[in-house]
Amino acid sequence: MVAAEKPDAFSTWPIVMGEGGHDTMAGPPASRIPPFRTSSGAPVVPLTEEQRFRFDKDGWLLIPGVLSEEECAVMRAHCYALRDNPEALPAAERSSYGGPLAALCDHPVLVGWAQEFLAHPTLASEETYGFRMEMSFLALRTSTDDPPFAFSPHNGSGLYRLPGATHTYHSIPGKAHAGLARAVWELNPVGIDDGGTMFITGSHKSAFGSPAAATDPSSSLWDTYSCPAGSLVLFTEGTSHSGQPWTNAERDRCAVFNAYNALNTRWSMSKPPEEQVVAMPKLRASLFREATTKENRGQYEYRAQVARI
């Protein structure tokens, strides 16, 4: 099939002729997947080539210092209000999807990553993101937690999961898909020994089961990170990972754990309360539409897409 001159790549994916004249299933580059602005009107920030390479190679990626200290302070206050006195918050803000944390759901840097690793190009439009959000919870951990947060490694081998599994990772030359993935916003600084999330780097592509050493958190198989407040840690759930006890007595871990998924699949039932979704800008609310494919692209008819392929 020869694409018409200047094809609308969104309507012709997945059958599209590559630039070099060969068929490719990769679809349009992330930079051509709408929307190009988030619900706050800010331009989407695409991953750099190096960030994209690292996420694919490692199964996780740290983007340091995305939020300003002022933004972190307001968000931390909301986290502690949710823990200590939720009734004092308006109902439309009473969750980690709400209040100042709502801006994290479709932060321009998050959207840039999701358009690369999660978005379904034919279902993305200026009115609807091409991916879903599901799950949001707080990790407010201290060095005096009793019991301390447990080391509990899970997942890995995302490349080899069968259809239907959400903890997947798939790639073909020039394109990769993260499956269920986590976006962790660290609202306090994290030191290398403090107790950030741990990863077996690259294990999303491991052909073999984990060796016994993976059950030992001090094994050199495990990596973690240090970062300033306001950093974003992205990982595919197809990577072996684990929480661990928080050890820094000087400051707590104050992190927001958000999760994203492909548009037509769902891992959990988690969703913001209805009054929060209704109060959201329509584009942000599109993150929470049903996990279906057919006719799930805002004003555009999926049928029309099919007809043009």
Ligand X SMILES: O=C(O)CCC(=O)C(=O)O
Q: 15: number of CA atoms within 13 Å, CB side?
A: 9
> DSSP 3-state assignment of 86?
helix
> Partners of 141 in the beta sheet?
253
Give me the 263-302 binding string for ligand X, x by CB under 6 A, dash otherwise: ----------------------------------------
Which among 120, 154, 114 has a CA at the least distance from the CA of 133? 114
The reply to whether 243 sits near ligand X by the rule CB under 6 A is: yes
When binding is defined by CB under 6 A, the residue of 139, 229, 232, 234 that contacts ligand X is: 139
Q: Give the contacts of 68 (CB within 8 A, at least 6 positions apart).
A: 230
Q: Give the contacts of 99 (CB within 8 A, at least 6 positions apart).
A: 78, 81, 89, 93
Taking the least distance from each CB to ligand X, the nearer of 27 and 243 is 243
When binding is defined by CB under 6 A, the residue of 182, 205, 271, 297 that contacts ligand X is: 182
The reply to whether 204 sits near ligand X by the rule CB under 6 A is: no
The reply to whether 160 sits near ligand X by the rule CB under 6 A is: no
In this structure, the number of other CB atoms found within 10 A of the CB of residue 40 comes to 13
Give me the 86-125 binding string for ligand X, x by CB under 6 A, dash otherwise: ----------------------------------------
Minimum distance from CB of 139 to ligand X (Å)?
6
Run of H or E residues at 162: none
- Taking CB under 6 A as the binding criterion, the range among 49-57, 97-105, 116-124, 237-245 that sits at the site for ligand X is 237-245
Minimum distance from CB of 273 to ligand X (Å)?
21
3-state DSSP: the chain helix, strand, coil percent, rounded to 5? 30, 20, 50
Minimum distance from CB of 186 to ligand X (Å)?
10
Taking the least distance from each CB to ligand X, the nearer of 121 and 238 is 238
Taking the least distance from each CB to ligand X, the nearer of 241 and 271 is 241
Determine the residue with CB nearest ligand X: 243
Tally of residues, the chain: 309
> Partners of 297 in the beta sheet?
300
- Is 232 exposed, middle or buried (CB count within 10 Å of its CB: 0-12, 13-18, 19+)? buried
When binding is defined by CB under 6 A, the residue of 24, 42, 165, 257 that contacts ligand X is: 257
In the complex, the residues that contact ligand X under the rule CB under 6 A are 139, 182, 197, 237, 241, 243, 257
